Each structure stands twice: as C-alpha cells, then as structure tokens.
Chains A and B, each alone.
Chain A
Amino acid sequence: MERVSGLLSWTLSRVLWLSGFSEQGAARQPRTMEEKALEVYDLIRTIRDPEKPNTLEELEVVTESCVEVQEINEEDCLVIIKFTPTAPHCSLATLIGLCLRVKLQRCLPFKHKLEIYISEGTHSTEEDINKQINDKERVAAAMENPNLREIVEQCVLEPD
C-alpha cells in the first residue's frame, strides 16, 4: 500500500512540475527507508576519527551497509548503526559512538530513535561499550565534560 501511495504522490508531483505548478524536489515526498539510510550515512561518513587525520568513511569505520533504518510508524523510524573501530581500546570506541550520536542528534532532519553498536566480533568488551553509548544519561553527562566535548566538536565539524 505504501508503495502504491508513494508512486501516486511521485506521479502527482511530476505532473505538477511538468505543468509548471511546482518545482521538482520542492514537494516533500515521503522518503523511503533506503533514502533515509543514505541521508544518515551522508552525515556520518565525514566525521573525523578522534585519533587519525581521516574520516570514518576513509578508515571504513562506517560504510553504507552499516546503516539500517526501520519504520516505527508513519512519522518515526529507528536508525541502527553498526560501526567498526580501528583500534580495540574502549575509549576510542565510546568516543566514536558519542560522535555518531551527537552528529545525528543535531543534523538529521527527520524524527528518529537511534541505536549504535560496535559490529560483532570486533571488540572484547562490546557489550560494555554498546551499553554505555546507548545510555542517554551517560552520553549527556559525557558531553558536559569540557575535554570530551572539545574532542567531539572537532570530530563532527562539517568540512568546508
């Protein structure tokens, strides 16, 4: 049903555009889950690694396929990210988790819930790290720590 109504609204906006009634792209069409996942990836791929002078995409810490978006209801969706840290130490992994969360909280335009995990088998204390980066109280407190905050801000700064 969603596909049919999606097709109808796409057709309608095309007709409106062709007849000069609206700008192509200005009519906000409902995004598919795949489109939303790409939007998420577009925001996270430019985040800089806290230790190296490269982006998370360059280091393959995140890839297009590591983002999944599931529909919760008409207005809300669940974004799940599974990242692969470059080195095994916990502080780096939690820092990357923090950067991912902050970037999306600030920049993702559609309503969402977010879960971030270390991809399985890449870390000995996976469960501990996953629990911490998904505890919003811990994340909020960490972002009030000026040193941590400064590092995160540098990592999520948009490239010019």
Chain B
Amino acid sequence: MKDSLVLRSRIQAHPDSRCWFLAWNPTGTLLASCGGDRKIRIWGTEGDSWVCKSVLSEGHQRTVRKVAWSPCGNYLASASFDAVTCIWKKNQDDFECVTTLEGHENEVKSVAWAPSGNLLATCSRDKSVWVWEVDEEDEYECVSVLSSHTQDVKHVVWHPSQELLASASYDDTVKLYREEGDDWVCCATLEGHESTVWSLAFDPSGQRLASCSDDRTVRIWRQYLPGNEQGVACSGSDPSWKCICTLSGFHTRTIYDIAWCQLTGALATACGDDAIRVFEEDPGSDPQQPTFSLTAHMRQAHSQDVNCVAWNPKEPGLLASCSDDGEVAFWEYHQPAGL
C-alpha cells in the first residue's frame, strides 16, 4: 500500500475558509472549487502548476456548497446556502451567470446534471429534491418537487446512463427516483445506514451505487431487475436495490464524500479524520457479495477534514481532494501490484 497514493501538488484554493467541493469538467482539463468564502474558482494547468483561471465571486450571498459541470462542459451550476442555484455559462475564461434557480426554502445542498444534459436536480435542507428541465433556449423549468425524505437532503447524483436520480439524506436513507408519465416518483428507499448519508456514487456500469455516512461505513447497493436470477423480490416493474457489501472499521470519523472512478473502478473516500482512502474490488469476488480491499490510506492528506474527492474523468489515477483547511490537493493513484 506504500506509495499507492502520491501527492503531486497542493494549492491554497480558498484562503481563510473551507473548501467544500470540487468538480472536474468533462474533458478533465479544468477543476472547479467552491467554498465558505462564497466564491467559485476555476483551476487549470500551466505547465506543471495549477493556476486559477477564473474567480466567480458575485453569484452567491452565502457559502457555495457544491458545483457541477454540464455534460457538454459549457455550463457550471452552483448550489448555495443562500437557497439559490446559479447557472454559469462559460465563454473561454469568463463565466457569466445566466440564470438563477429559486424555489427552495433554505440552503441548497447539492446540484447535479443528468447525462443527457436536459435535466438538472437540486436538493435542500427543506427536505425536497427538485427536478428541472432545460430547453434549447436555456430556459429552466421545475418539473417536479419530490418530498419523500423526512429530513435535510445532502446530495443528489444521476445514474451514468439512465434517467434515474439518487438522493442521500440526514434521515439516514438513500432514495431513488424515476419519471412516471408527467411526473417523477420515488421508486426505491435504501435503508441500512445508522446515521446521515453524506454522499453517493454510481459505478461505471450504473448497476451499483456506493453510499457513505456519518456512521463511518460505506455501503454498496446493487440493482436487481424484476425476474432476476438471484430471486431478489421486486415490487411491480421497479427494480429492487439490495445492500451487497458494507465497508466498516476503516474510517474513524464521518465520511463526507465518495467517488467511483469511471475509468478504473477504484473507490475513493473523503473522511473527517483528515484521511483519503482508496478501495478496489477483489478480483474474482462474487458479484452478489463482492469484497473490497483497502489499497491506499493517506493519513493527514489534509490538516483538517477532507470534504471531497474527485477522480479526473480522462486521466486514470488522478485524484483531487479538498478540505476544511481551504486547500486542494492533487494525487496520483497507482493500483498496487498483485491486483
């Protein structure tokens, strides 16, 4: 495990405040960061160093909690504690706020674009998940307000290829939603975590979903379609989701984020014990009861809680992380020999 995760560089991205989240653009050339200083910064490489290409500072009145790039890479959405989601349009190095999505009653905790680029989801402490449709004229319309969770919703993420939405909540559950006719409905509730679920990540195939929690565990859930070979019961035509693996005993504090590399399948976690960990599925493990091994453990990855980990979508092994100390770090992950 020694040297499987190596530091490449560190930048003080949000001086005197926390850096809450990071997002790589679809081509992996830019990294957006956001934080407690209410700003969004866009980072790019110049030779061997990371430099700040743009600062988006007039958009929000409070902490910017998450940012997300559209699949085409021309837009960036930002979710803020000021209850608003901003949509920024990229024009070379400039970003212009073209729309603000209002409606949530209080802090917006997450925003995510569907792979089609036509749908956006947001979630909030007001316990709801909103689905928005975008048309060719960049007009946004809220098409559904989903109030299935009983508490603060922390994160939303879209399935990599289907129009399936997942949300994670302070109510300790994960919920899944799909379109039914003109509306969206909650089609599954995943129970098992014993405390707040902070984040989610689908595997490259979309068959499995990883969740991470304040209960210090990671759970892997698998989708079972009606009529599946394993005999997992489904109600009606909706798939069932079953917890097929729990990773416990590895993290010593709340796990704030999880990222599943779409290129290599490696699973990275961001933890409140200041560490970054990487897990890989053991080769030959039973798909219905997989086992994962810890392949990297970077203690003191940051001097404070790690809030986010993000795999570069084009460069295998390149991982970015950010922390309460305001720093962003770049790492190179090498799968240990023998895997």
Residue numbers of A with Cβ under 8 A of B are 72, 76, 111, 113, 131, 135-138, 140-141, 144
Contact = CB atoms under 8 A, between A and B. Distances in A.
Which 6 pairs of residues, A with B, have the shortest CB-CB distance?
A: A144-B62, A141-B81, A141-B107, A144-B81, A144-B63, A140-B63
B253 A137 contact: no
A137 B308 CA distance: 13
Contacts of B335: none
Contacts of B107: 141
Contacts of B159: none
Nearest to A111: B303
A141 B125 contact: yes
Nearest to A128: B151
A111 to B, nearest CB: 8
A47 B303 CA distance: 27
Interface of B: 18, 36, 62-63, 65, 81, 106-107, 109, 125, 152, 154, 170, 195-196, 214, 252-253, 272-274, 303, 305, 324
Q: For chain B, what secondary structure do more than half of its interface residues adopt (helix, strand, loop), or is it mixed?
A: loop
B231 to A, nearest CB: 37
A37 to B, nearest CB: 20
A7 B152 CA distance: 50
Given A135-B170, A144-B62, A113 B195 contact: no
A113 to B, nearest CB: 7
A131 B63 contact: no
Contacts of A140: 18, 36, 63, 81
Contacts of A135: 170, 196, 214
A77 to B, nearest CB: 12
Nearest to A73: B299
A126 to B, nearest CB: 15
A76 B274 CA distance: 10
A141 B63 contact: yes
A113 B253 contact: yes
A111 B325 CA distance: 12
B253 A138 contact: no
A153 B144 CA distance: 40
Contacts of B152: 138
A131 B170 CA distance: 9
Given A138-B152, A141-B62, 20 more contacts: A72-B252, A72-B273, A76-B274, A111-B303, A113-B253, A113-B273, A131-B170, A131-B195, A131-B196, A135-B196, A136-B305, A137-B154, A138-B125, A140-B36, A140-B63, A141-B106, A141-B125, A144-B62, A144-B63, A144-B81
